[in-house]
């Protein structure tokens, strides 16, 4: 279990004090992935630097299995760093080292004996599916392969927390999928706690269990991905499964925002609503996707011929949450951040 308690970070400049993090609290249980999302300037990379112990927080604690690592420095810090493995954007491999040498770097820094180092590197190469690339140089690998080497390096000292700092940005969709699949399997196989710092909502939707929305150095919204997506008022949920619905056509009584609340919603629910309950239903927009914990979905409907309260209670009994929509919802029109 990784716990971040009341983390503050500020910088004193000539123009005065700049507060970048203003009290972050986050709990990342083992075997789970927590995504930290937010616009540029929200404090994501400062948080990432604090968690990877590259920067000392001004205040607050970073507890790994109850031990505060944020206060350490020098040799004590180097010794405890192994609890946290960091994956960087663009993999950050050393270009003049082979794949095997890159993976062995943490072991070498620690002074692990040669044959043990070789065994561990072989095991890690196998784990990330690059056993045939041990003697290749980073320049000879694809972006996705490089990132898998980066993951292997981060795993070398058997950390309890894996911190991924924008590790999939800049990767093509196929490589991104491979990296996410790997992270997903590491969570369950090694029981790792994983923190994904990212601006890519696709990534969050596919692998994260929890998501924290960072805004101006604070956590604006925090919860299970399922809960946020199925909440009609969650801004993070709206960003995770964004919709641009058609306007309500003439002849329909009201517009409904529907979200999948339960994991196994009957996929024919829309047909049932129309056929069994004689509702006239217009599909205005929708997004239904698979998540490792079951289907996620947000749908916008126009309904006529059936009372709203009745429809809402019906849908509720099928594991769907519905609310009548009226007017403008800011989260829908907000620009979804795509680049840092």
Q: State the nearest-atom distance from the C-beta of 96 to another protein, in Å.
A: 5
Query: Under the criterion CB under 8 A, does residue 86 sit at the interface with another protein?
Result: yes
Among 40, 116, 140, 313, binds another protein (CB under 8 A): 140
| Shortest separation between residue 110's beta carbon and another protein, angstroms | 6
Nearest residue to 24 (alpha-carbon basis) of 284, 275, 219, 269: 219
Residue 317 in tokens: 């009994």
Residue 216 binds another protein, judged by CB under 8 A: no
d(CA 336, CA 318): 31
Stretch of 75-83, 208-216, 273-281, 312-320 contacting another protein, by CB under 8 A: 75-83
Report, in angstroms and rounded to the nearest whole number, the Rg of the chain calculated over CA atoms.
23
Q: Which is nearer to another protein, 153 or 325 (CB)?
A: 153
Near another protein by CB under 8 A, which window of 106-114, 213-221, 303-311, 327-335? Answer: 106-114
- Taking CB under 8 A as the rule, does residue 72 contact another protein? no
What's the CA gap between 280 and 66, in Å, rounded? 56
Of the candidates 135, 159, 161, 160, the residue with the CA atom closest to the CA atom of residue 149: 135
| Six-digit token string for 203 | 């990534």
Report if residue 134 touches another protein, rule: CB under 8 A. Answer: no
122 binds another protein (CB under 8 A): no
Q: Of these, 63, 72, 157, 274, which contacts another protein (CB under 8 A)?
A: 157
Q: Does 318 bind another protein (CB under 8 A)?
A: no
Residue 137 as a binder of another protein (CB under 8 A): the answer is yes
SS3 40: coil
Using CB under 8 A as the binding rule, the residues of this chain from 36 to 65 that contact another protein are 52-54
Could you say which DSSP state residue 128 is in? T
- Residues of 181-207 as b/e, b for ≥16 C-beta within 10 angstroms? ebbbebbeebebbbbbbbbbbebbbbb
- Count of residues of this chain found to bind another protein when the rule CB under 8 A is applied: 30
Give the interface segment with another protein, choosing from 79-87, 117-125, 200-208, 302-310 (CB under 8 A). Answer: 79-87
**Per the structure block, which two tokens stand in for 122?**
């072989």
- 272 binds another protein per the rule CB under 8 A: no
| 197 forms part of the interface with another protein (CB under 8 A) | no
Distance CA 31, CA 184 (A): 9
CB 322 within 8 A of CB 260: no
Q: Minimal CA–CA distance to 219: which of 1, 12, 32, 47?
A: 47
Residues that bind another protein (CB under 8 A): 52-54, 78-79, 81-82, 84-86, 88-90, 92, 94-97, 105-106, 108-110, 137-140, 153, 156-157
């Amino acid at each position: 279990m990784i716990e971040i308690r009341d983390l503050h970070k500020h910088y004193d400049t000539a123009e005065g004090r700049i507060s970048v993090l203003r009290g972050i609290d986050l709990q990342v249980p083992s075997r789970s992935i927590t995504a930290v999302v937010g616009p540029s300037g929200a404090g994501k990379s400062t948080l990432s630097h604090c968690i990877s112990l590259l920067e000392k927080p001004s205040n607050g604690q970073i507890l790994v299995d109850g031990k505060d690592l944020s206060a350490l420095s020098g040799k004590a810090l180097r010794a405890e760093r192994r609890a946290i493995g960091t994956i960087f954007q663009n993999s950050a491999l050393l270009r003049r080292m082979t794949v095997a040498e890159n993976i062995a770097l943490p072991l070498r820094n620690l002074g692990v004996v040669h044959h043990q180092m070789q065994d561990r590197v072989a095991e890690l190469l196998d784990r990330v599916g690059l056993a045939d690339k041990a003697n290749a140089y980073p320049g000879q690998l694809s972006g996705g392969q490089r990132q898998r080497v980066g993951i292997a390096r981060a795993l070398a000292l058997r950390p309890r927390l894996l911190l991924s700092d924008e590790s999939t940005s800049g990767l093509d969709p196929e490589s991104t999928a491979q990296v996410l699949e790997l992270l997903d399997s590491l969570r369950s196989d090694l029981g790792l706690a994983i923190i994904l710092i990212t601006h890519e909502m696709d990534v969050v939707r596919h692998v994260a269990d929890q998501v924290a929305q960072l805004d101006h150095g604070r956590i604006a919204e925090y919860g299970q991905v399922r809960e946020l997506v199925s909440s009609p008022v969650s801004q993070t949920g709206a960003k995770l499964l964004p919709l641009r619905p058609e306007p309500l056509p003439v002849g329909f009584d009201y517009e409904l925002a529907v979200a999948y609340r339960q994991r196994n919603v009957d996929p024919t629910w829309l047909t049932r609503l129309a056929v069994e309950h004689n509702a006239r239903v217009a599909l205005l927009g929708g997004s239904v996707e698979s998540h490792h914990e079951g289907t996620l979905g947000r749908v916008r409907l126009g309904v006529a011929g059936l009372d709203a309260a009745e429809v809402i209670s019906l849908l509720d009994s099928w594991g769907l949450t519905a609310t009548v929509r009226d007017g403008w919802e800011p989260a829908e029109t907000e620009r979804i951040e795509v680049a840092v």
